[in-house]
Amino acid sequence: MDIHEYQAKDILRGFGVPVPRGHLAYSPEQAAYAARQLGGQGPWVVKAQIHSGGRGEAGGVKLCKTEAEIKDYAASLLGQQLVTKQTDANGKGVYRLYVEEASDIAQELYLGFVLDRSSERIMIVASAHGGMEIEDLAESDPDSLVRSVIDPAVGLAEYQARDVGFRLGLTGMQVMQFTTFLKACYRAYRDLDAMMVEINPLVITGAGDLIALDAKMSFDTNALYRRPQVEALRDASQEDPREAIAADNGLAYVGLDGDIGCIINGAGLAMASMDMIQLAGGQPANFLDIGGGASPERVCQAFRTVLSDRNVSVILVNIFAGINRCDWIANGVIQAYREVGIDLPVVVRLSGTNVEEGQKIIRESGLPIISADTLAEAAEKAVAAGAQKIAAE
């Protein structure tokens, strides 16, 4: 789960990370008042709060010198879709702004904490060149990247933090500040089950102080049950509407760009099914793992979720039942026809526990459900049915 910049800064501030003062605004008037609250004569930085990087290049960040300029800029941005290099063509909706005091920037650094799956450890990734995306840094100047793996049994030791600081070219008091800064970020990552903490840029001011000028945090969705204070920061307006609906109903769903909706149990089978759809010449519209022990009601909800995507022209149900039961799935398909009003072709392939009973339910339902015995056959029939429906339209 991702959160906004202002939320990440609020969290990091609580762990002792220095961040610039700022206020949130939902309207042009609030944005101008936020600048007044910060005091001084400006300038101020106004930032669109969306779950995407590259906001500055897309016009989502602006240095404003007067309250009138802030108000005009806020009015032009709020309610718009901001398209960045990290969003799709639809962009992200801008519904809140963050007005922040401007900083005296002498140097920009990059700092990130990520989960390194190869070493199964938290890794620090840093660079003396901040303000760029880490992917761009890795491509344009790979030698500038400083990496350091944290031993979970020891945690981030001071000598390790100092070593990273020295490798970034810091000296004297800056190294001491950096060590404190780094340890605070690590505590936030560890204590809140984060998946990423990124400070880009980490700024050295004209006075020699370190400040987190921008901040991103993402969290392990599977750990949110024990982090209610983090879960409360979720902004559904920044999510794919299909994925938001699925998350609210406990379904593992990822929206894609194809037209064949998938309802499958098990992540591995879901991936294999999407591969077979592409091999048959089609494109999957989603990844959906219905999970184990799916009741007819849960199957019905999965249909509603898939049908929320208007690009879907056919639905493929592929179940290899272990914990699940094929008769439950079959009853769920029938229930979905009755309650949801399905007018698309539906291809069903059942295998495993109670398969004969499930196939019998489908066969005797009297509904125009297309049955298949193998995954390859199901994928081929789904692609053919989708093409036929599109041609008929």
CA 236 and chain centroid, separation = 11
The sign one gets for the Cα dihedral 2, 8, 10, 16 is positive
> Are residues 245 and 302 in contact, defined by beta-carbon separation less than 8 angstroms?
no
- Per annotation, catalytic residue among 73, 98, 110, 189: 110
What residue numbers does the annotated binding site for substrate cover? Answer: 265
List where CATH 3.30.470.20 sits in the chain. 1-19+104-238
Counting beta carbons within 10 angstroms of the beta carbon of residue 60, is it exposed (0 to 12), middle (13 to 18) or buried (19 or more)?
Answer: buried
List CB contacts of 69: < 8 A, sequence separation 6 or more: none
List CB contacts of 143: < 8 A, sequence separation 6 or more: none
What residue numbers does the annotated binding site cover? Answer: 47, 54-56, 100, 103, 108, 200, 214, 265
The pLDDT of residue 294 is 66
Does 189 qualify as catalytic in the annotation? no
Does 73 qualify as catalytic in the annotation? no
For 1-19+104-238, which CATH class?
Answer: alpha beta
List where CATH 3.40.50.261 sits in the chain. 240-392
For 21-102, which CATH class?
Answer: alpha beta
The pLDDT of residue 292 is 66
One-letter identity of residue 342: I
Tokens of 311: 């690009």
The pLDDT of residue 267 is 85
Q: What CATH number has the domain spanning 240-392?
A: 3.40.50.261
List where CATH 3.30.1490.20 sits in the chain. 21-102
The pLDDT of residue 171 is 87
- Per annotation, catalytic residue among 69, 198, 239, 380: 198
Q: Where are the alpha helices (DSSP H) in 150-266?
A: 158-167, 173-191, 228-231, 241-248
What residue numbers does the annotated binding site for ATP cover? Answer: 47, 54-56, 100, 103, 108
Query: Would you write out the chain's pLDDT as a tens digit for each of its 393 residues?
Result: 999 999 999 999 999 999 999 999 999 999 999 999 998 787 999 999 999 988 988 999 999 999 999 999 999 999 999 999 888 888 999 999 999 999 999 999 999 999 998 889 999 999 988 877 777 777 777 778 999 999 999 999 999 999 999 999 998 889 999 999 999 999 999 999 999 999 999 999 999 999 999 999 999 988 999 999 999 999 988 887 777 777 777 778 888 889 999 998 888 989 999 999 999 999 999 998 887 666 778 888 888 889 888 889 999 999 888 777 888 888 888 988 888 888 889 999 988 888 899 999 988 888 888 999 999 999 999 999 888 877 776
